[in-house]
Amino acid sequence: MRPQRVFFPLRFGMEHTMFRMLTSVVALAVLSQPAAAGDVAQYGVGIGLSPFGGSLNLAYHASKKTTAFVTLGGAPSMEAPMKMNVDDTEYTQTGGSSWVGAFLNHRPFKDANWFRVNTGIGIGNIEGELEDDAGNKYTVEYSENPVGYIGLGVGSSAMKGMTFGFDLGWLQTGGPDITKVAGPGADKSDDIDGTMGAGNVLPNLQLSVGYNW
């Protein structure tokens, strides 16, 4: 069995600034939730932003405690903000995605409906490309379906009105297919597969805003 590794979209710089931003968003998500005594909504619509692209989220609130989501998401192919280094070889990373998912959110604590457990499945693909300065190119493709998701979230309540949310979790996949497609050097697909540039666990975080009625 291959070891668990991290997919490159979450390799952000400026860790201190990112932490302060996420702390602010979490506080906003908790404090901006409608009052517990408000009306429970039946439906909701929202948008989300994650390392795997933007998403459109359609919600059905079965109760104050449980919400089902159907989500359509993706991102055009673009260069990642950080380069990847494997055995002293630096690679420029490009990646894009296209996917749909179905997710179930549950709020398990009586007096903390701002806290959620989120699980579900996704179907789609994530395609990446790595290129070094010598012109050696590799494709990194996740196409095995479906993949499972589990995570925790704050905000995004089932009450009527505007909502904000933050989620942190991971996708469990079968791992990528890594293929050399161009370049004069030796094939380093196996070396890349053993690094933080490819893996069968894909960490994910998402910021979201929505409206319930």
Q: Please write the tens of the pLDDT for every residue from 45-68.
A: 999 998 888 999 999 999 999 999
How far apart are alpha carbons 74 and 59 in whole angstroms? 18
How far apart are alpha carbons 155 and 120 in whole angstroms? 18
Residue 154, CA distances (Å) to 3, 20, 108, 113 in order: 30, 16, 12, 9
Going from the N-terminus, what domains does the chain have, and what CATH number goes with each?
8-212 (2.40.160.170)
Quote the pTM value. Answer: 0.78
**The predicted structure's pLDDT at residue 107:** 96
| 87-125 tens-digit pLDDT | 888 888 888 899 999 999 999 998 888 899 999 999 999
C-alpha closest to that of 160 among 58, 41, 32, 62: 41
Identity of the highest mean pLDDT range in 2-6, 29-33, 61-65: 61-65
